[in-house]
Every structure is written in structure tokens, then in C-alpha cells.
Amino acid sequence: MASKEIFIAVIGAGGVGKAFLSQLEGLSKRLSANASSPKLSLILVSRSTKTLYSPQYKALPFLNLATSLADSTNKPLSLTEIIDFLAAAPAKVVLVDNTSSQDVADSYPQVLSRGISIVTPNKKAFSGSYKLWQDIFSSAASSGAKVYHESSVGAGLPVISTLKDLVETGDEVTRIEGVFSGTMSFLFNSFAPTEGSGGKWSAEVKKAKELGYTEPDPRDDLNGLDVARKLTILARLAGLQVESPTSFPVQSLIPKALESVGSGEEFMQRLPEFDSEMEETKAAAEKEGKVVRFVGSIDVAKKEVKVGLEKFDRSHPIAALKGSDNIISFYTKRYGANALIIQGAGAGGDVTAMGVTADLIKVLGQL
Ligand SMILES: NC(=O)c1ccc[n+]([C@@H]2O[C@H](COP(=O)([O-])OP(=O)(O)OC[C@H]3O[C@@H](n4cnc5c(N)ncnc54)[C@H](OP(=O)(O)O)[C@@H]3O)[C@@H](O)[C@H]2O)c1
């Protein structure tokens, strides 16, 4: 008997997209060795200005895919054209959104309502308006299409699947707390290490930028919004109706006077003027024998979500984090005082793509 064919479409071929395509090639090869497994056919790959697709729904070859996409002379398809093309496919389709595009995220309800499943590391859909969140899951429920987004929090770390398992098996999640940004992790682990004194704040930001740990304009990390988006997703999964990532307190580490400076370069030049503020915060924590860290927390019973600086004993797992790792602690009724802790790399193409590929495997098992 011929294997069931499942079509895969990939939007976004950057750091995560390229790593995902390589993992997809491996998965597809492994599945083809087993006649009872589905046959995966990649039918579309797109970037912001390029689309490579097979109008006859024939599988695109993986060999030299990035070059074929870059060299493609196809007229790029609009999002609407992509959705129409996928909805007309003669078999089930999984759309993999490896962009950070709000437009693509906004289209999920439409995609799902047309029976196309989605897997994605893109946070935008799940941390946008609560209405978009509801529309996504109601569209999926009525069409039967699946939607998975493990890598939208903590990259490939099993954060979302663990929280879902806790909730769905009837545990009571009381509190979630952690370091959700690799950039913030790196900055504070070197600015306020558990041993030694650490560097000046502006020097640590400069070092992180040079090592490629920050966005091109570090204000996009320091404003706390990325962490707020992740907290929004987890709070909603824990049952809180969080309206948006700006509907709870989020501490920005951008000095007021530098919020409106024109460029990232100017921001970096002027940041040393404000080192004393961060020095005071560090010294205040040290006086109590603690270190300062940038954390997000959700108190489920009090329905409180917040993001910002907090002090931790040097022996606390959050204080002892290394490099740019993430740590997420789930406090629940079953686990009692000793939290269930997930820790490890929370960024990087390969680990993020691993979460996306693992989601795809879950979807394949249900189609
Ligand atoms: N990198 C990580 O460590 C990490 C960790 C966790 C989650 N994530 C999430 O994973 C996603 C991808 O991250 P990344 O690091 O791979 O980003 P990236 O390197 O900037 O790649 C983004 C890709 O999306 C494409 N794209 C953007 N808008 C598009 C649109 N409207 N239509 C089609 N293609 C579009 C870009 O096209 P061009 O190539 O033409 O520019 C690019 O190929 C993001 O949502 C990010 O937040 C990343």
C-alpha cells in the first residue's frame, strides 16, 4: 500500500528556517524507510521576496534548496495566494511559519479554518491580542487542523508541552518563574555574577552586542517586550485571560533619556552615562548577599504577570544560571515546594528548529 502523502510548506528561511529545512530532509528520509509512515513532500518555500513552489504539488528537491530559492525567478506569491495554493492541495498540508512576521501570524485563523495545520516558533500570533488567540484555537477546533508552537517560548526547551501536560492532567500550576531571554541571561550572568564583581553595565551590553547576542539595536532586547510576549503565552496556557503583552507591568532597562535617540549606535555611545543606575541596583542586591536578574513571573492565583529585575540568593537556580541559558520553574500542587525546572539553551537555529520539527512530528501523528 502506498504511504499517505502530506504536504509541507515553509515560510521563512533564515537562521531557524534553514536549520528546520535540514532537519526536515532528515525526517523525510527516515520516514521514507518505513512504508507505514507518511511521505513528506515539500511543496513551497518562501522568503520575504522569493517563493519557490511546485504548481503541480510535486515535491521540491532538498538539494541546493537555499540556492534554488535565492535564484528563483518565480513571481513571489502573496500570503493570500499562498493560502489559496495550499488550501487547493490534493492532500493534508502543514504550514511551517519560520518568520517573525505579524502579517503571517494574523493569517493563522484563516489558514486553520481552511484545514491547513500550523507549526511555528513565531511568538506574534500567540502573544498578540486575546481575540487573535481565541480565533486561532476556535478555527483549529472547528476545522480539525492542528496548531503547535513549542519554540515560541524557550526555543527547543519543552516548556509549552510541559505546561500543557501539567494543566491537562489536572495539576494546579500556582506560579511560573524564570529567565526567558538568552540576551538578558548573558547580560546579568556577566554583569552580576555569583562570584567576582562583573563588568560595567554598558560594557556588558557592548560585549553582548559584539558577540551577536543582542538584536542589532539592543533596545529591542532591553525593553522587555520579548520576555513579555513569552509570559503572555504561558499565562494564557495557564488559564489567565491576558489581553496583550503590554497589559501587565514590564520593566524596561532603557534609560528614559535614551528611549527616543535616533539609532542603536547613538544609544550604545550614550549608555555609559547611565551606568551608575545599574551599579546602584547591583550594590543594593549585594548588600543583601544577593544578585540581580531579569525575570518574568506569573502568579496564577493572584492573576499577576510581571517582567523586570528581581534579587535572588546566590544559591538560587536562577542566580546560578550560566552563559545565555534560559531557566523556567513551574511551581505546582503536585511538585510542592521543589519546582519542576527546565533549563538549557533558549536560542539558536538548531535547537529552535528542533522544537519546530518535534511539533511537526506530533502533527503528522494526528493527520
Ligand atoms: N533564532 C532563534 O534563536 C530563535 C529562538 C526562538 C524563536 N525564534 C523565532 O523563530 C522565528 C525565526 O527566527 P530567525 O532567527 O530564523 O529569523 P531570521 O533569521 O530573521 O529569518 C526570518 C525569515 O523569515 C522571512 N520572512 C520575514 N517576513 C516574511 C514574510 N512576510 N513572508 C515570507 N518570509 C518572510 C525572512 O525573509 P528574508 O530571508 O527574505 O529576509 C527570513 O528568511 C522568529 O519568529 C523568532 O522569534 C528564533
Is the confidence at residue 185, as pLDDT, over 70? yes
Is the confidence at residue 124, as pLDDT, over 60? yes
Q: Give the ligand 1 atom nearest the CA of 49.
A: 40
Is the confidence at residue 216, as pLDDT, over 90? no
| Look-up of cell digits 486561532 | 136
Cross-strand bridge partners of residue 299: 175, 304
168 lines ligand 1 (CB under 6 A): no
Nearest C-alpha neighbor of 6 from the set 151, 117, 122, 121: 117
pLDDT at 197: 87
219-274 residue pLDDT tens:
999 999 999 999 999 999 999 999 999 999 999 999 999 999 989 999 999 999 99
Nearest C-alpha neighbor of 227 from the set 270, 278, 176, 172: 176
Average model confidence (pLDDT) for the chain?
96
Structure confidence at residue 183 as a pLDDT band (50, 70, 90): very high
Domains 5-156+350-364 and 159-345 share a fold: no
pLDDT at 1: 56
Structure confidence at residue 73 as a pLDDT band (50, 70, 90): confident
Cα 216-12-33 angle, rounded to 5 deg: 130
**What integer is the mean pLDDT of 43-63?**
95
For residue 270, give the C-alpha cell.
Answer: 550614550
Question: Quick one: fold of 159-345?
Answer: Dihydrodipicolinate Reductase; domain 2 (3.30.360)
28 lines ligand 1 (CB under 6 A): no
Exposed, middle or buried, 171 (CB in 10 Å: 0-12/13-18/19+)? middle
17 lines ligand 1 (CB under 6 A): yes
Residues serving a catalytic function are: 230
**164 — phi, psi (to 5°)?**
-60, -45
Q: Establish whether 215 is an annotated binding residue.
A: yes
Cα 10-14-19 angle, rounded to 5 deg: 75
CA 13 / ligand 1 centre spacing (Å): 7
Is the confidence at residue 74, as pLDDT, over 90? no
Question: Quick one: fold of 5-156+350-364?
Answer: Rossmann fold (3.40.50)
Q: Give the ligand 1 atom nearest the CA of 79.
A: 32
pLDDT at 2: 65
Question: Which residue's C-alpha comes closest to atom 17 of ligand 1?
Answer: 14
Residue 210: left (phi > 0), alpha (psi -120 to 50), or beta?
A: alpha
User: What single-letter DSSP state applies at residue 175?
Assistant: E
Question: Which residue's C-alpha comes closest to atom 32 of ligand 1?
Answer: 48
Top mutation candidate among 20, 45, 100 for ligand 1, by most atoms within 8 Å of CB: 100
Question: What's this model's pTM, rounded to 2 decimal places?
Answer: 0.96
Parse the chain into domains and list their residue ranges: 5-156+350-364, 159-345
For residue 274, give the C-alpha cell.
Answer: 547611565
User: What single-letter DSSP state applies at residue 241?
Assistant: -
16-52 residue pLDDT tens:
999 999 999 999 999 999 989 999 999 999 999 999 9
What does the alpha-carbon distance between residue 338 and residue 316 come to, in Å, rounded to a whole number?
A: 12
**What integer is the mean pLDDT of 328-353?**
96
